[in-house]
Structure 1
Amino acid sequence: MDLNLKGKVAIVTGGGSGLGASISEVLALEGANVVVNYFVDEANVFKFVDQLNEKYDTRAIPLYGDITKASDIENVIARTVDIYGKVDILVNNAGVWPTAFVESMADEEWEKTIKINLTGPFMFSKRVVQNLIGRKSKGKIINIVSQAAFHGSTSGHAHYAAAKGGVVTFTVSLAREVAKYGINVTAVAPGMMRTPMNKKELAENEAKYIERIPLGRISDPVEVAYTVAFLASDKADYITGATIDVTGGMLMR
C-alpha cells in the first residue's frame, strides 16, 4: 500500500533510538522527510541520520531539543519550518521508563517522569497545532502510549503508567478540539518490545512477559512503527481520538 507520505515532513521525538528509530526509518522508507529529535547520544543519532539519508530517497536531519523546555521545542519547530517550509506530522515518542515502587519513589522521580512522558507531549502538540492552524493546514499527531496506560503496573512503573494514561485521555481531548481544523490526533499502545530501554527486563524476565502475550512473542519495534506510519498517512484520515492496540493481544480492547 502506498501511504502517500512522499514529501511530508515529520518530527519524531526521541527519534534516534529504539522505537523512535524504527518510526523514523519507516517514515523515511515511505518517502517522508524526517526530523529526528534527540536529547542524548548525539554521535550515534548523527550516524543514524546519515544512514537514513544514504539508504532512502528522502532527507532526514537531527535536531537537538529537550521536550520539557518550551524554548527547545519552539526551536525544533522553527528550524524544521526554515529547512522544509512546513510540519505535517508529529510523533510524540520520547519518554523514560524508570523503576521505583510507590512506597520508596522519590517525589522528584515522579515529577520528572510526568514532565517528560505527559507534559512533554502536551507542550510539543500545542505548538505544532498552533503552527498547523496558523498555516490553515491539515496534520497528524501520533502519541506513543503503552499497555500500562490501561493495565497499570505491578513492577515499579506506576509513574510511567500514570503518565501514559494521561496521554491517552489528552489524545481524546485534543482530537476533539482540533478535528474541525483537519488535524487528526491518535495514539499507539505498544506492549513489550525489543529495544535498549527494555533490554535488562527482558534478560531477567522474558518468559514471564511472553506468558502475558496471547501471540506468544516479544514484538520488534518496526511492527509498531508500521502502525504509526499508517496513522500518519491519508489512509487514516477518518481515524481520530483512537488508541490503537499493538500489544500482541495484551489489551484486546
Structure 2
Amino acid sequence: MDLKLSGKTALITGASSGVGRSIALELAQEGANIVIGHFKDAQNAQTVVSEIEQIGSQAIAIDADISDAENCRKLFHAGEQKFGGIDILINNAGLWPSNWIQDIPLDEWNKTVEVNLTAVFLLSQLFIKNKLASKKTGKILNITSQAAFHGSTTGHAHYAASKAGVVSFTVSAAREVGPHGINVNAIALGIVETNMTKAALAANPDYYLKRIPIGRVAQPEDIAKIAAFMVSDAASYITGATIDATGGMLMR
C-alpha cells in the first residue's frame, strides 16, 4: 500500500533507538523526511540519520531534553527550519523507572510525568498552533502503554499514571482539533524488546511471556508498521483512538 507519505516531514521523539528508531526508518522507507529527537544519544542518533539517508530520505538529529519547554520549542523549530514544516508529530520518548509507590522519590515522579506526559502536551501544542495558523492538516500519534489501562504490577505506577494521562489527552486533543483536519491518535504498546525493557525481560522472561496471548514479545518493527499506517491518509477517518498493539495483553 502506498501510504502517500513521500515528501512529508515527521518529528519523532526518542528516535535514536528502540521503537522510535524503527518508526523513523519505516516512515523514511515511505519517503518521509525525519526529525530525530534524542537526549544525549548523539552517536546512535547520527547512525539513524545515516540509515535514513541510505534509504534515500533526509533526516536531522536534534539533542533536546523534552522535559524542558524551551528544549521542546528548540526541537520543533529546528525541524521547521530544516524542512519548511512538520506534517507529522510522533510523541514516542518515554521513561520507565522502577520503584514501588512507597519508595518513589518526588523528583523521579516529576521527571517521569514531565517526559511521558507534559512533553506530549508541549509538542502537541506547538504542532497544533502551527497548523491552525497555517490552516493545514496534520497527524499526531502518541505512544502510550497497556499499563495506562491495566496499571502496573512491577513497580511502575508513575509510568502507568503518565501513560493514562496520554490516553485522555489524546481524546481531548482529537475532539478539539478534529474540525480543523488534525488527527490525534495513540498506540498502546505491550511488551516490546528494546534497551529499556531488556534487563526486565532477561530477569523474568516467563512472567512477561505468560501475559501475552500471542506468545511472543513484540519487536520494534512490529510497532513501526502500525505507526506508519496511523499517520497516513489511509487512517484519515480515525481520530481519538488508542490502537492496542499488545499481542493480546490488552483486549477491549
TM-score by length of 1: 0.98
Name the CA distance, whole Å, in 2 between partners of 1:22 and 1:218.
16
1:225 alignment counterpart: 224
| Aligned match of 2:26 | 26
State the SS of the aligned residue for 1:2.
coil
Match of 1:236 in 2: 235
- Partner of 2:2 in structure 1? 2
State yes or no: 1:46 paired with 2:53.
no
Q: Which amino acid aligns with 1:113?
A: T
Deviations 1:44-78 (A, max 9, x none): 21122112211x12101111212122222212222
Q: Counterparts of 1:60 and 1:48 in 2: how far apart (Å)?
A: 8
Alignment check: 8 A CA contact 1:15 1:93 kept:
yes
SS of 1:58 mapped into structure 2: coil
Counterpart-to-counterpart distance in 2, 1:231 and 1:30: 13
Counterparts of 2:18 and 2:47, CA distance in 1: 14
Find the counterpart in structure 1 of residue 16 from structure 2: 16
* AA matched with 1:7: G
Tell me the alpha carbon deviations over residues 199-221 of structure 1, each in whole angstroms, 9 at most, x when there is no partner.
10010111111101110110111
Q: What runs of 5+ residues in structure 1 fail to find an aligned partner?
A: none
What one-letter code is carried by the residue in structure 2 that aligns with 1:39? Answer: F
CA RMSD of aligned residues (A): 0.8
Q: Distance in 2 between matches of 1:248 and 1:143?
A: 19
Indicate conservation of the 8 Å contact 2:33/2:58, yes or no.
Answer: yes
| Partner SS state of residue 196, structure 2 | helix
TM-aligned CA deviation for residue 36 of structure 1: 0.5
For residue 204 of structure 2, give the secondary structure of its aligned residue in structure 1.
helix
Are positions 1:97 and 2:99 aligned together?
A: no
- Give the number of aligned pairs: 252
Cα distance in structure 1, aligned partners of 2:85 and 2:153: 42
Matched with 1:112 is 111
Per-residue deviation, 1:165: 0.3
* CA displacement, residues 169-198 of structure 1 (integer Å, 9 cap, x when unaligned): 000000000001100000001110110000
TM-score by length of 2: 0.98
What residue is the counterpart of 1:197 in the other structure? 196
Whole-angstrom distance in 2 between the partners of 1:155 and 1:229 = 30
Q: Secondary structure at the match of 1:178?
A: helix
* One-letter amino acid of the structure 2 residue matched with residue 131 of structure 1: N
Counterpart contact for 1:87–1:132, Cα < 8 Å = no
1:101-180 paired onto structure 2 within 5 Å: 101-180=100-179
Distance 1:239 1:118 in 2: 22
3-state DSSP of counterpart to 1:16: coil
Q: Which amino acid aligns with 1:52?
A: I
Contact 2:18/2:194 (<8 A) preserved: yes
Tell me, in whole angstroms, the C-alpha distance in 1 between the residues paired with 2:6 and 2:209. Answer: 37
Alignment-derived partner of residue 214 in structure 1: 213
Distance 2:75 2:82 in 1: 11
Gaps in structure 2 of 5+ consecutive residues? none
4+ residue runs over 2 A deviation: none
Identity %: 50
Corresponding residue number in structure 2 for 1:71? 70
Question: Residues of 2 paired with 1:119 and 1:235: CA distance?
Answer: 29
CA distance in 2, matches of 1:78, 1:114: 23
Structure 2: distance between partners of 1:170 and 1:49 = 30
C-alpha distance in 1, partners of 2:106/2:65? Answer: 21
Query: Does structure 1 conserve the Cα–Cα contact (< 8 Å) formed by 2:72 and 2:119?
Result: no
Which letter maps to 2:107?
Answer: E
